[in-house]
Every structure is written in structure tokens, then in C-alpha cells.
Structure 1
């Protein structure tokens, strides 16, 4: 079981079937804000839809092809962060994340990203992480910038959001860059 303590109030845990009801409720309560930038929200109609997502996430982890973790804050499920898939041949992955509307602005995604970056580079021995964010999603675009990712380009009409395409900005970070960032901050990282 994957569990990682970020601080006294926050931890990450591999999603499992015990999370289904809480994850569905979080998605449903935050539907209006999530829908602006996430294309899956209208497909989550019932608890069974969330259960299928969690089952797929558990299978993804079992297949060593990524991880989907719940972000827990003060004992409550606040959001999800995950590796979409892992390209083992080229040693890279991409990260996605979202928070319920009641948990925004607490640094939860930034701190969760730090943990996932360390996990990818130190434990999985990957060399590159990518984040793709819709151009207009300024709040979400801030996170990779703060963490030292480089803006690498813009993908035109890369994502379909319900009734229109949006451009995405691609951010990238390598293991060597992360090691340098950590050493400048005086933090240790074993790569």
C-alpha cells in the first residue's frame, strides 16, 4: 500500500475501493469548478463511475504503469494526484492533479507534487516529468512554474473540453534539474 506523509495535516494514499464514496462526493460537490478545466467531470454521474475510475487506478498501479493517489487533508479526501502512465523505455511520466473546491489555496497540490517528483526520480528512477495544463488555467499553471519546471511549448487544440478545444502548455523537469533545485534549497534527494 502506497502512503506518504507530507506533513502533520496532509498525506497521500493510493486510491482504493474504500475511497469511492468520498471521492464521488468530492467530485460532485466540486463539479462546477472542476468542469471548467477537466474533461472527465460529465462522465462521473454515479458512484459506479467513480468506482470504475478507482478500479482502473488500482489496475494501473498493479501493472506498474502509474499511480493515482488521494490527497488527504485533516483526514478528508481533498483531491487526486497521479502519474498518467509511465514510459519505462524513455524513463518519463506525466502528472495530473485536481482539488475539490473547498481545499484550494492551502498548498496541497504543490506539496503533493514535490512528493511525487521525489518519488518519480528517487524511487522509480525516471529521468523526466511532464505537466500539461490548459493555457487559460492560470492557477494550475503556477504550480509547475513554482517547482522549477520549464515551459517547453504550446500544443494547439490539444484537449477537448465538452464543446471546444483548448491549447495546452507543456512543462518539463528532468532528474538533474530537480537535484540541482533541491541542492540550492539545501534539501537532500537521492537520485
Structure 2
């Protein structure tokens, strides 16, 4: 038996097949890579939204709680402005038997506010209305990264409907929309 090598024709066919496979991989890779990055960014946006909303959801669920004698309460547990872009929530956070308001140390109060301002969601403890211009409002989204494009809350019988849309600041096509129905545990 004689060992012989590949013919020139066989070598050319193999090289052509390798070139075709390589070119199809090179054509597919950029699309796959951009798709992977976009999915990573969307996941990051989803996680940032979930984290930003966790306090608001917790507060809505607790709204109206009061230890001991709930009949002493004279205010509503939830106030939503007419535009639906601000919500004030009251509950007895420290089981004092009332909804405490401390104008000197507002952070010790049992009033929790969330509002939509300048493409962001802000929160503050101890304010009785959303037009408060105190500088203590905390932005829940990084304004250099995320833009809030829609925020609306509305009250229904035993739940709050929350609608929110966000997008990346520099890649607005990467967005995330959420609509939640949050049951108030104390109604």
C-alpha cells in the first residue's frame, strides 16, 4: 500500500469549505455579540427597576397599618395627586399607635412620599405633600444611566395600580415596562 497525500483539488475544496464556515461565523458573531450585550443591558435595567420599586411596594403593602387603636386615625393612609405621579403613604412604622409626623426630624416620621420629577422617581420620608422643595428627596434611579419615561399610580378598591417605564439614557431602544397591582394588606 502506498501512502499518498491529498490532491490539489481536495486541498482547494477543504480551503473553500473552511473559508465558507469562517465567513458565516464572522457574519453571525457581531449580531450575536450585540444581541448578548442588549440582553445584558435589559436585564440590568430590569434589576435596577425592581430594586428602585422595592421600597415603594413595601410601603404600599403596609399603608394604613396602625398599632393598638386604629380608630384614632383621621387621615387617609394613601393620598395620590390628581396627575397620578405622586403618592403619599402613611403607616405606623414603629408601632407607636399613631402615624407620627415630626417636622423637626422628618426622617422619624411615618409618612413616605414618592414622586415623578425630571425623568426620575424620588422618595422622601416625612413630607406631607409632593410639592415640597426640600433638598432631601432621594433619586431612585441613576440619572446618568436610566430615564424614567412613564410613572403613574392609581388607587382601586383594595389595590394600587402602578405603571412604570424606563429606558437607558444613551440607548433608549433598550427599555423596560412594568405594570403592577399591589394589594394593600391593611384595607
Structure having the higher helix fraction is: 1
Fold match (TM-score > 0.5): no
Task: Tell me the TM-score normalized by structure 2.
Answer: 0.25
Bigger Rg, which one: 2
Task: Tell me the TM-score normalized by structure 1.
Answer: 0.24
